Each structure stands twice: as structure tokens, then as C-alpha cells.
A and B are shown apart, each in its own frame.
Chain A
């Protein structure tokens, strides 16, 4: 267990080595959020709300979804590169689980970006616009939990596609398509409130809604009591399902590598 904590810490330190990346990360996150806020402020004009959704709610949605999706971004070509240059073999020579190691490293990177990219960008955004305050302290805690679960769902989807590099020469294209799907279906391009009813119905049976939109709704107090618990349970269910799929692909891929040669 200690080793995995160290993987995360080392990655965290790793990111600190680059100063320009640190400053650009803040600028990048702040600009992404502010551009969307400008667009939606113009769309709202003088209207107090659209479909019962106020501008502040939309702004809050974008701060959380865009801020987090920037923070949760990492090198998704990692496994492919390791397989291509053959250094994947080094991973099998260590008495640790590769999946957990990769997850730890990505969490370390995510933690760095939340603290050093997201929080400063959040500060800048607050100067520009008024956001909804958290509905309750309990809700805030529930949101943090939900963000962690959402991250795991996002990570597992990415990892499943990364494992395909055992069979495919390049997964870059698939990852790009996946990222488009994630940004549309998770509500970081258009808040899910505004999606057509039919599409919303489809999205609700996919894992995408659980990534960012569940935390957003918990933060805004849209989900409370049993509804909140149910939303968290759905997140956990998706983690279990995706985890099983990811593990199956990984096992098969490793087997292919060690049986057929690297």
C-alpha cells in the first residue's frame, strides 16, 4: 500500500519540476472556464433563468466540469508508448500491480492539478462572476466523495481503451473520439439540463452522467436524501462494472504479450 502512495507522491513532485507548465496550467484552466461563462452570459442576456436553470447554476456547472476535466487530464498514451517501445517489460519485473500503480500516478497528477491549476483558476473565476454557494456542509462532503467516484469512472473508461493498444497499433484516434463523447455526454460542453429529453434518457443509462454531472447536482442541492444515496450507488455500480471490464482486457492483453512475445 505504501508503495502506491509513494507512486502518487512522486508523480506529484514530478509535476512540480516544470515551472512554465505550472503557470500555463492556471491560465489554461481559467481561460477555458471564462470563455464558456462569457458565452452563456451572452445567451442568458437579461433572462433570470432558462428552463428553471439560473445563470449562476450554469456557471457553477462549468466551473466544476471544466475545472475538473482539465485537472483530470493526463497522458492517455502511456500504456501504448510502453508497449510500443517495449519498456512495458520493466513493469512486469516489479512486484506491484501495474493498474494500481498507473492509477496512483494519475491520482498524484490529478491532485497536483486540482491544487495548483484548479484552485487558482477558481479564484480568478470568482472575481469575474458569482457562483452558487454550496447547499450544505454535508452536501459539500458528499460532492467530494462523488468527485472521487466520478474520477474513477473516467479513469476506468480511459484505461479500458488504453488496454486496446495490446491489439491495435495506435489507440490515439479512439481516445480522441472517446474524449469527444465524454465532453458531450458528461455535460462539460452543454449542461445536461438543456439536453433534449430523449437524449437525456439515453445518457442516464450510461456511465457518463456519473462523471461530472452527479457531483454538480449534489453540490447544487438537486440531489438529497435517498436520491443522493442512489446517485452515489449508481457511481459505485459503474466503477464495479467498468473495473471488471478493465481487468478482463488487461489480463487478456498481458497474456497475449507474454505468450506471443513483446
Chain B
């Protein structure tokens, strides 16, 4: 099948003015400013097929949002090629943005003082959505996201969860082929998160909408996405299914020990290298153990280990290829 999104060797560097401490340095800065280069996106390539739903994760400042901004046509890459749905986003922006929907979880696009429904009406005119389709979509979305009770309230009176649902609907009313959701569940409670996840899944399954989803919540990824891309320090460090990363990691076990004298200890080891029986044997012979707990390798802790550099994904990637 044809690729919906093609990203090849994309780079984006920022020039940041360097400020030094002290009065003399501050005065010096006025005349001779020094810059340093930050590599926000450093040679990233991937492709996404139509109807795929891809989770984009990485620690803060990893380059996720920059990548999304390049994909949605807001930023020029410094090098590399980007093609989305046949368009070069940053070159053909006006034409291109008709086909996409973007939600920046931290920046609302709704009209603060007017009832939610008025912002939706505005979208109808901006995107020239036919009346019939507009009504259909609105009815469906407000049912799925349970919006009937607050659709006539001014946006400033809405809770964060309600506002976010409003924002998501506003960016999907024109039935875009591709949707970018940048942290759409940030700061929401469990119920609101769940509702948004279900909705995203539904849109993907029924409309075959291609979706890129960035988040810090691994539950989002597990429940919504088929595929996971991890970036860190501007580089792609993993691209594959969630199952795969879990299976790879399943060999690494963490055991919590409670000793006779009340102390707690944790041990991490790789069962593919040292069999479980050997590990147990040596542990029991060395220490006075009262209790033992085997910790499940949750995706959450796996990701934490990856971010903190305890697991080097290069090995996984190398093995896979």
C-alpha cells in the first residue's frame, strides 16, 4: 500500500543565543552575541501507511513537537524530505492544511468567550464543510464524546477535559485524512482520557484516518496505537510494535528481595544470559531471604529504562535487522 507520510533524513537545528552569567558578560552580549546550535531533529526517517495509527514518544525536548510541526507544515526542515498525502507540507501549506487536522493539547483553538458550538460553526465556514456532512459529523462526534450537555456553554467555563474534547472535534469536523494529536490527553483524568482514546480508535477504524499521536502516557500508546516510534535527542531510537518491545524486554527481570533483617534489595538480570534457576540458587545461598517478588516488566518501566539509558535500543534494533 502507498505511504501516506514519508519522512527522509529530516534535520532541524535551532540557533539559541547563549547568555553568560555576570554583568560584564551581559554587556558583552549586547554587541557580540554567541549562538549555540541545538539539534532538535537530527536525521530522522520513517514512513507511515494510510490508516495506520502511530504513537510518538520521547522524553521532554526529544524533538517530538518539532517533528509534528514539520509534518503539519508550520516549520521548514533544514535538510531532508517530507511528503504527506502527496504534498510537501511546508511548501504547499494553504492547500495542504485542508487535508489535515491538528490538535496541540496545550494550545486551544477554540473561541474563548463563545459557546463551543459557535467555534464549530466557524470551522464549517473555514473549511467549507457542506451543511449535511457538518451536521452528520457533529451529531456523531458529540454522541461519541458525550458533548451534548456542554456544547452550548462558553469555552471559558469548560473543564480541561471538556475543552480538549471540543478541540479534538473542532479539528476533525472536516474529516481530514491525516490527524496529528500532540499530547491530547495531557492533564486529563482517567475517564476523559479513556473517552478520547476510544474516540481516536473509532475514527481510525471507521474512517481509516491516519493518526500520529504524541504523548507521555504509555496507556495511550498501549490502548490506541499499533506502532510505536521513540525519539530521543532528535534521533529515532525505536520503530516497531509495542508487543515487540515488550517481548524483547521480557528477558530482563527485576526481583525485589525482602531480607531477614528487614532490608529491601532489588536485582535486575537478563534470563537469556543467566537462567532463572541459577540466579535463584546463588541468591538464596548468599543471603537470608524472607520474601521474594518478581516485578512485571510493564511498558511504563521499560520506557523509563530506555529514557534513562539503562537499556540500549541499538542492540534491539541491530538484532531485529
B113 contacts A17, CB within 8 Å?
A: yes
What are the 10 tightest A-B residue pairs by CB atom distance, in nearest-first order? A3-B125, A6-B125, A87-B107, A90-B109, A17-B113, A14-B113, A3-B126, A95-B98, A93-B102, A89-B74
> Is B202 an interface residue when CB atoms closer than 8 A count as contact?
no
Chain A, Cβ-Cβ closest to B109: A90
Within the complex, which residue of A2, A17, A86, A94 is in contact with B97, where a contact is CB–CB below 8 Å? A94
Q: Is A225 an interface residue (CB 8 A)?
A: no
Q: With a CB–CB cut-off of 8 A, which chain B residues contact A92?
A: 73-74, 93, 97
Which one of B114-122, B143-151, B260-268, B282-290 is at the interface? Answer: B114-122
Q: B residues bordering A, Cβ < 8 Å?
A: 12, 14-15, 40, 66, 69, 72-76, 90, 93-95, 97-98, 100, 102, 104, 107-109, 111, 113-114, 118, 121-122, 125-128, 154
Number of chain A residues close to chain B: CB under 8 A: 25
Residue of A nearest to B167 (CB): A90
B114 touches A10 (CB 8 A): yes
User: Does any Cβ of B come within 8 Å of A261's Cβ?
Assistant: yes
A59, chain B: closest CB distance, angstroms: 36
Q: Which of A87, A258, A262 is in CB contact (< 8 Å) with B90?
A: A258
Q: Is A197 an interface residue (CB 8 A)?
A: no
Interface contact A13-B94, CB-CB below 8 Å? no
Asked whether A75 is an interface residue with its Cβ less than 8 Å from the other chain, the reply is no
B75 touches A258 (CB 8 A): yes
A261 touches B12 (CB 8 A): yes
Neighbour of B76 across the interface among A7, A18, A96, A259, CB < 8 A: A259
* A89, B126: Cβ atoms closer than 8 Å: no
Chain B residues near A13 (CB-CB < 8 A): 114, 118
Residues of A within 8 A of B (CB): 2-3, 5-7, 10, 13-14, 17-18, 85-87, 89-90, 92-96, 258-262
| Residues in A whose Cβ lies below 8 Å from that of B76 | 258-259
Expressed in whole angstroms, the Cα–Cα distance for A200 and B273 within the complex equals 91
CA distance A118 to B154 in the complex (A): 27
Contacts of B121 in A (CB 8 A): 6
Q: Which of A3, A14, A258 contacts B114 (CB 8 A)?
A: A14
Given contacts A13-B114, A95-B127, 18 further A-B contacts (CB under 8 A): A3-B122, A3-B125, A3-B128, A10-B122, A13-B118, A17-B113, A17-B154, A87-B109, A89-B74, A92-B97, A93-B97, A93-B100, A95-B95, A258-B74, A258-B90, A259-B76, A260-B15, A261-B75
